[in-house]
Amino acid sequence: MTSTILQTTRPRDPDASHRAATPLELLFDLVSVIAIAAAAVGLHHAISEQHATEGVIRFGLAFFAIWWAWMNYTWYASAYDNDDAAFRLFTMVIMGASLVLAAGIDPLFADLDVTFVIIGYAIMRVAMAILWFRAASGDPSRRQTNLIYGIGILLVQTYWIATLFLAANSPTILLPMVLVGCVAELAVPIVAERAANTPWHRHHIIERYGLLNIIVLGEILLGATLALNEAFDGTFDIRLVHIAISALAVTFAMWWLYFSDEDHLTSNDLSRALLWGYGHFFIFAAGAAVGAGFGVLIDIINEKSALSIAMGDLAVALPLAIYALGLWVVRDRFHMRGAAKWVVPILALTIIGLPFLFPALEVIAVVFVMLVVVRVYGARRATASS
């Protein structure tokens, strides 16, 4: 598309062929990498310092803000990206605000200070609301849907700013208010899309989600690189090499599990799209958390954490299982047949128990690879018999 200064925001063709991610969307993803990495690092240090519960809660808050802003922009762009100068500039405002959000993640983990997270997030969402109002002007047949999006987003941002003033210094009030705000955010698309579905492009959305998944897997590869750096810093420790090899095996298996032969989203049905789209929060968050878990194990080996090896293995095994279960809920249970349908959840739950039975990261990696192999074999049998 050729960029112009200003043009009407008309709906994109949801059946257009060869629809792919744009350079601007890839830049948007690059900015998201910074915030995701900051959240993963915060979780890693919280677990290493034996503050796992607080760390998981704060990681969940940070990751929700990152993921939800990314998700709403992605679905909007799939339906209404007209690539004019105004769209590009509003996208860049959202990206700049994402960096503000990322800068607030350290204070969030350190002191539950949500100031920069909420400010950055609110700027992102207000810019997003303006884009929805542009779509309401350019797409009369879906005007109600787009107005609900824009107004709903602005109302929720008013709530977030009120939260900042009313509960910033009181964790007992802040967390319930944040939970209510998250539910309100999730409700906006459910209400809006029931008026009339936006013309999002199914294959484009699948590609966009796949690209973010690759970004998340990069957090695990970063852990593998860190382990090798530590292993060869002058005091060789074979255990760190084992961590690096296990991280590689797990990353490749997670990639293979995600990018299967089966279509992720087989229709434009609203209920299925909401399950698939929302369910990816757990998949993406778990993928980033696996990378944090490998960081915890490196700290334990280097005696920078007092946690046991079993607890370090659990920091990898638990999110790894959630990743597999998340994919099973949003995709695999719709494709698998017979006994093979239950292989993924059974092996995923087994992985959670492994750190208590066999405190060895290599066993966790091998079982997860087995999960992927069995899943692929079961899917192919289901396809052959249908």
Where in the chain are the domains?
23-195, 202-385
Q: According to the model, what pLDDT value does residue 237 have? A: 83
Structure tokens at 9: 């925001």
Residue 3: its pLDDT value, please?
57
Spell out a b/e string for 205-227, using b for 16 or more CB atoms within 10 Å of the CB, else e.
bebbbeebbebbbbbbbbbbebb
State how far the Cα of 94 lies from the Cα of 1, in Å rounded to an integer: 21
Q: How far apart are CA 195 and CA 155, in angstroms?
A: 18
Per run of 10 residues, the mean pLDDT along the chain (length 386 residues) is 72 90 95 94 96 95 96 96 94 96 95 93 97 96 97 97 85 91 97 93 95 95 90 83 95 95 85 95 97 96 93 96 96 83 92 88 94 85 64
Per-residue confidence (pLDDT) for residue 262, from 0 to 100: 81
Q: What is the CATH number of domain 202-385?
A: 1.20.1410
Look at residue 235 in the predicted model and tell me its pLDDT.
77
Q: What is the predicted pLDDT for the residue at 1?
A: 47
- pLDDT value for 385: 64
**C-alpha distance across the termini of the chain, in Å:** 41
pLDDT at site 38: 95
Q: Helices in the chain by DSSP H: which ranges?
A: 23-48, 52-80, 85-103, 105-111, 115-138, 143-167, 171-195, 202-231, 238-258, 270-301, 309-327, 333-335, 343-357, 361-385
Q: What is the DSSP code (8-state) at residue 51?
A: -
149: its two tokens: 């999006």
| Full-model pTM | 0.94
Q: Is 103 buried (19+), middle (13-18) or exposed (0-12) by CB count in 10 A?
A: middle
